[in-house]
Amino acid sequence: MAQPRKVAVYGNSLFLAGVEVGLRAVAGLEVVRVDAAASGALGQLLDAQPDAIIFELSPDSPLAALALPFLAQSPDRLLIGLNVDTNEVVVLSSQQIRPDSLSDLAAMIRAPASVPV
């Protein structure tokens, strides 16, 4: 049996509470909640070592502002931003390659984005 994927739900909104409840019903996922207003919340997020972090994407989201530094510190994690206003999902990953040539770089650009499952 495959190891469950750990998902952290980061935030306090009613919307994220609903997402959390829905994800808890999905087999193969371990869901943890991190209170964004708690002292040391970003540290708690790192300590949880989730495979993916779901947060509400908004201009005042502390995680949205720290997305790039966070991905640099946690290269194997996905950040999944949910925008309630536009009904969009933004998936950020720090997946990295070392292209040996421009052909390698072009192949990466042409490759469809993939989300590990």
Q: What pLDDT is stored for residue 31 in this prediction?
A: 94
- Bridge partners of 79? 53, 92
Rounded Cα distance, 48 and 64, in Å:
18
In this structure, is residue 117 part of a structural domain?
no
- Give me the percent of the chain exceeding a pLDDT of 90: 19
In this structure, is residue 84 part of a structural domain?
yes
Is residue 59 helix, strand or coil?
Answer: coil
Nearest to 43 by CA among 64, 73, 14: 73
At residue 108 the predicted structure's pLDDT band, cuts being 50, 70 and 90, is low
Structural domain count of the chain: 1
In this structure, is residue 116 part of a structural domain?
no
The domain of 63 spans 5-110
Q: What is the CATH number of the domain that holds 26?
A: 3.40.50.11220
Higher pLDDT, 9 or 100: 9
Q: Which two tokens stand for residue 65?
A: 């502002």
In degrees and rounded to multiples of 5, residue 51 shows phi and psi of -80, -30
pLDDT digits (tens, 9 = 90+) for 35-72: 888 888 888 888 888 888 888 887 667 666 667 777 77
In this structure, is residue 115 part of a structural domain?
no
Q: How many CB atoms lie within 10 A of CB 108?
A: 11
